[in-house]
Amino acid sequence: MNRPTISNVRAMEILDSRGNPTVRVFVQLSDGTESSASVPSGASTGENEAIELRDGDVSRYAGKGVLRALSNVTEIIAPSLIGMDAFEQARIDRLMIEMDGTENKSKLGANAILGVSMAVARAAAQSVHIPLYKYMGGVGVRRLPVPCMNIVNGGQHADNSVDIQEFMAVPIGAPCFREGLRYVAETFHILKGLLKDRHLATSVGDEGGFAPNFSSNEDAIETIILAIEKAGYRPGEDIAIALDSAATSFACGNTGEYDLNKSGVGKMTSADLIALAGEWIKKYPIVLWEDPLSENDWEGFRTFTEKYGQNIEVVGDDIFVTNTRYIARGIKEGTANSSLIKLNQIGTVSETIEAVRMCRDAGWRYFLSHRSGETEDTFLADFAVAMDGGHLKTGSASRSERIAKYNRLLEIEQELGSDALYYW
């Protein structure tokens, strides 16, 4: 049987979960298969992320339209890809990287390139009737990720008094994914009740977590711990805590200073921030801390990892931007012991897999992630299982663009049946 080739590539402008335009790409194969994929979008983006091409035409969507990215898909990328073997993911991705020719995909746009890259993978899997996670991960794939559920939103994801961007509940003691999801969804609902009792807002932020005006960052953590207990779970044993400071968003440029102005704590040095983190790690059941320092504070990151990296997972997001160039430096310098992995930070499926491979080879962990602007696309759920990273973050127990990924993971677990694995 001849392997199917790419016969058509088209794209459309859709809206993401913040109501901003994003790219959806459709790839058709010679055997009639057609698949699509939709591209997410970040808010607290790293400086070195691949570029999301936006029109800048203020008469449409305040300049955020993606019509130029669409035309790059149909006018430039599509003609070169038609006739190619859909199973040659790496070759297809490399061709697009070469056609773009820039360091950060600013010519064609990472949103254009990634949409095609994901849609090609999905079309190839669909044409051979293999679930996407198995197609991308191979026969050994059977582990479900621990869902690090972001139940309180702060930082740039919410207009509230909290500096830390994400407070995640991590069901480390659950026996399987389905139960883990239940543990943290129940905690989310109990948390809502606790907030109501205190007359705090129960509206949610961009990733579906609550976003009230806590009296301090510590108050947020302590209220989550109370919710865990009230839900009938043991903090630190059944459910632990993970944080994403997204510290780039409260760094004072390159001065090495930070300004925790949302909570009113005010200015701190990198060393102060590291010392404060140490107190929290002692006091609270924290198992993972992402971006505790800013993307420019490599030295602070290294010190943080030296001090706490034996006890917790130290994840670099903005500092590594899923780019092997920065991850390699991090491995050499001991900057962290884990990298966040976001497909749209680098812009192709193959390069994202390279970033994962580099972490794995170095004995690092890697943490699969959604973006704060998402769509109903569930690609991330399959990708997380395929990459076998053991944990992912994809938002809270609210907002359907987040729930869609959890529901897809439930499906995958059910399909794997008793072969499914789950552990922290």
Do the strands 6-15 and 365-369 form a parallel or antiparallel pair, or are they unpaired?
A: unpaired
Map residues 136-165 to x or -, x wherever contact with ligand PGA holds by CB under 6 A. Answer: -----------------------------x
Active site residue 207: yes
Number of residues lying near ligand PGA (CB under 6 A): 11
**Which of 64, 134, 342, 405 is flagged as catalytic?**
342
**Over the Cα atoms of the chain, what is R_g?**
21
Residue that has been written with the tokens 């001991």 in this structure = 334
Q: Which stretch binds Zn ion (CB under 5 A): 35-43, 194-202, 243-251, 406-414?
A: 243-251
Q: Which stretch binds ligand PGA (CB under 6 A): 15-23, 36-44, 130-138, 193-201?
A: 36-44
Which of 97/246 has CB closer to Zn ion? 246
421 neighbors 142 (Cβ within 8 angstroms): yes
CB of 256 to ligand PGA, least distance (A): 21
Give the start-end residues of each E strand in 261-355.
Answer: 266-269, 286-290, 313-316, 338-341
Measured distance CA(330)–CA(401) in Å, rounded = 32
The single residue among 244, 351, 354, 382 that binds ligand PGA, judged by CB under 6 A, is 244
Subset of residues 315 to 334 that bind ligand PGA, contact rule: CB under 6 A:
317
The single residue among 297, 317, 354, 413 that binds Zn ion, judged by CB under 5 A, is 317
CB of 402 to Zn ion, least distance (A): 15
Q: Which stretch binds Zn ion (CB under 5 A): 50-58, 125-133, 245-253, 322-330?
A: 245-253
Q: Which stretch binds ligand PGA (CB under 6 A): 25-33, 40-48, 183-191, 324-332?
A: 40-48
Using the Cα atoms of residue 16, residue 87, residue 133 and residue 317 in order, give the sign of their dihedral: negative
CA triplet 121, 124, 130: central angle to 5 degrees?
100
Active site residue 342: yes
The single residue among 12, 14, 43, 226 that binds ligand PGA, judged by CB under 6 A, is 43
Which of 322/372 has CB closer to ligand PGA? 372
288 neighbors 245 (Cβ within 8 angstroms): no
385 neighbors 138 (Cβ within 8 angstroms): no
Which of 43/99 has CB closer to ligand PGA? 43
Adjacent-strand bridge partners of 34:
28
The single residue among 246, 287, 356, 384 that binds ligand PGA, judged by CB under 6 A, is 246
Three-class SS state of 141: coil
The single residue among 28, 161, 263, 369 that binds ligand PGA, judged by CB under 6 A, is 369
Residue 212, sorted as left (phi over 0), alpha (psi -120 to 50) or beta, turns out to be beta
Q: Is 371 a residue that touches ligand PGA (CB under 6 A)?
A: yes
Would you tell me how many other CB atoms lie within 10 Å of the CB of residue 177? Answer: 25
Adjacent-strand bridge partners of 23:
13
CB of 244 to ligand PGA, least distance (A): 5
Residue 11, sorted as left (phi over 0), alpha (psi -120 to 50) or beta, turns out to be beta
CB of 273 to Zn ion, least distance (A): 16
Q: What do you get for the CA distance between the two ends of the chain, in Å?
A: 42
**Which of 49, 52, 207, 295 is flagged as catalytic?**
207
168 neighbors 147 (Cβ within 8 angstroms): no
Measured distance CA(164)–CA(157) in Å, rounded = 10
Q: Return the structure tokens found at 295.
A: 């993307």
Known catalytic residues are: 207, 342
Give me the residues that bind Zn ion (CB under 5 A), please.
Answer: 244, 246, 291, 317
Give me the residues that bind ligand PGA (CB under 6 A), please.
Answer: 42-45, 165, 244, 246, 317, 369, 371-372
